[in-house]
Amino acid sequence: MGYDVPHWIDGHEENGGGSTQPIMNPATGAQVGTLQLGDESTVDRAVQIAADAQKAWAKVSLAGRTQIFYRMRELMIEHTDEIAQVISREHGKTFGDAKGEIARGLETLEFATSITQDLKGGFSQNVSTGVDAHTLRQPLGVVVGITPFNFPAMVPFWMHPVAIATGNAFILKPSERDPSASNIVARLYQEAGLPAGVFQVVHGGKTVVDALSTHEGVSAVSFVGSTPIAMHVHATASAAGKRVQALGGANNHAVIMPDANLEFAAAQVASGAFGSAGERCMAVPVAVTVGDAHEAFMTAITAEAKKLVVGPGDDPTTDMPPVITPEARERVIRMTDEAEQAGATIVVDGRGLVVKGFEKGNFVGPTVITDLAADHPTYTEEVFGPVLVVMHVNNFDEAIDLVNSSRFGNGTAIFTDSGHYARRFEDEIQVGMIGINVPIPTPVGYYSFGGWNDSLFGEHHAHGPEGVSFYTRQKAVTTRWPAQNETVEASMSFPTHD
């Protein structure tokens, strides 16, 4: 039904695996396409092809590689609307939001155009008499990316430009929910001149993920998705001897200090909580009001939530789109019900929302909850929907303790006019990415992205300098060029420097 989405292997589309899965439009609830699901043999074929392609690719000069990335950047800009439309149809997010994620993904591609700088090694002359030392970084081989539904362009772009620019072959396993953008990117890489087999796409679910994570031809696995699957992939791939970075879920808190510009803070928190229906790993599902900030912030955030227009992503008047599946919608409603049953106040209630003409869509309205206990799952767990829980504390220290008690540690923000509290926040908070009066502090492409605690398993953050480090390994070379007539006594002592 609708269009067909096959794998992209060895420079062309092909079927493989035998089974399929429907691709749905979250706004209409209707099937729009059919996805081919791979199996172990699809993975095996892709890995063999990648291994062959990588050997030749690693020999391509840095100048040759970067020229391809420059061309790819132009092609991505030219095709932004086409990719954004596909994302909006399969993910549900607004057209403008889809264009935004493509633009943020391009930052990493731009970073890859200057890989010449990042692959420079170190050199020391005369570390010992007549002896020099230098380092170089080399690719790992075949590396894999497994990505979530919520950023079908940007999150894969955190991985493949850096992996490929450093000389690896990359196999992408995108989300089954919105797979088409990845095939367009594969086609554009080919048009940009990337040799067949260096970037491939294998579609599928657990079978494909497990096969990629354990295949002996794969050297490293980058994963982004929910915490339970991140833990599974980290454990499985690590046990199989792979280098692994597995980015998991989040429950990001924004702390609202009484000295903050509260209107500004409420507008920023609203965009963090309800943008893309809260389905962002850097969403802001929790606001922590400190002392006197509570009342004024509640008034402002209620007004912000109530004015949002909920509708399909391809309607230019839409502020907030549907969530991804009927199950996701039901989870949001159930977690709101459970909070209410536990005595919370539902200040803005999105449960009953129906969008006219889209009655079968996965719509749920913006929801604001307060008076919820700090051990309730609607606060402690990731809702991943348009729900903002407002927690109230008495002072800054209590706010720090509350944020640090979360098992996640992806992003956090503080809204304040005080440099003193901003500086203390940055120092004392146990979270990987911090915003000072910035609600979604997603680092630019030339920095690296990553959380702490249950938001990231493994040592390396994604993209930027940490990406270069993840996708390469270092050699340290010690060099001596004795004169042809130079003689030396054999020494049994461990060499020291003179």
The stretch among 179-187, 218-226, 263-271, 481-489 that binds ligand NAD (CB under 6 A) is 218-226
The stretch among 11-19, 121-129, 241-249, 296-304 that binds ligand NAD (CB under 6 A) is 241-249
Our finding on whether 247 is near ligand NAD (CB under 6 A) is yes
Binding residues for ligand NAD, rule CB under 6 A, total: 28
- Residue of the chain from 36, 42, 88, 175 that contacts ligand NAD (CB under 6 A): 175
Separation of alpha carbons 127 and 132, rounded Å:
6
Q: Do 145 and 173 touch, CB atoms closer than 8 A? A: yes
> 216 vs 42, 141, 246, 432, 458, CA distance in Å?
15, 11, 19, 32, 20
Our finding on whether 148 is near ligand NAD (CB under 6 A) is yes
Our finding on whether 146 is near ligand NAD (CB under 6 A) is yes
Give the nearest distance from C-beta 232 to ligand NAD in angstroms. Answer: 6
Catalytic residue among 281, 301, 324, 369: 281
- Residue of the chain from 8, 57, 95, 149 that contacts ligand NAD (CB under 6 A): 149
Cα first-last separation, the chain: 75
Separation of alpha carbons 222 and 145, rounded Å:
5
Give the nearest distance from C-beta 85 to ligand NAD in angstroms. Answer: 21
Give the nearest distance from C-beta 173 to ligand NAD in angstroms. Answer: 6
Our finding on whether 161 is near ligand NAD (CB under 6 A) is no
- Residue of the chain from 24, 256, 281, 320 that contacts ligand NAD (CB under 6 A): 281
Give the nearest distance from C-beta 480 to ligand NAD in angstroms. Answer: 46
Residue 281 among the catalytic residues: yes
Of residues 249 through 278, those in contact with ligand NAD by CB under 6 A are: 249-250
Our finding on whether 176 is near ligand NAD (CB under 6 A) is yes
Of residues 185 through 214, those in contact with ligand NAD by CB under 6 A are: 205-206, 209
Our finding on whether 173 is near ligand NAD (CB under 6 A) is yes
Give the nearest distance from C-beta 235 to ligand NAD in angstroms. Answer: 11
Separation of alpha carbons 209 and 244, rounded Å:
13
Q: Which residue is nearest to ligand NAD (CB)?
A: 225
**Closer to ligand NAD by Cβ: residue 141 or 145:** 145
Our finding on whether 229 is near ligand NAD (CB under 6 A) is yes
Give the nearest distance from C-beta 249 to ligand NAD in angstroms. Answer: 3
Of residues 413 through 472, those in contact with ligand NAD by CB under 6 A are: 451, 455
Per-residue contact flags (x/-) with ligand NAD for residues 372 to 391, judged by CB under 6 A: ----------x-x-------
Residues near ligand NAD (CB under 6 A):
146-151, 155, 173, 175-176, 205-206, 209, 224-226, 229, 232, 247-250, 281, 382, 384, 410, 451, 455
Q: Would you name the residues annotated as active-site residues?
A: 281
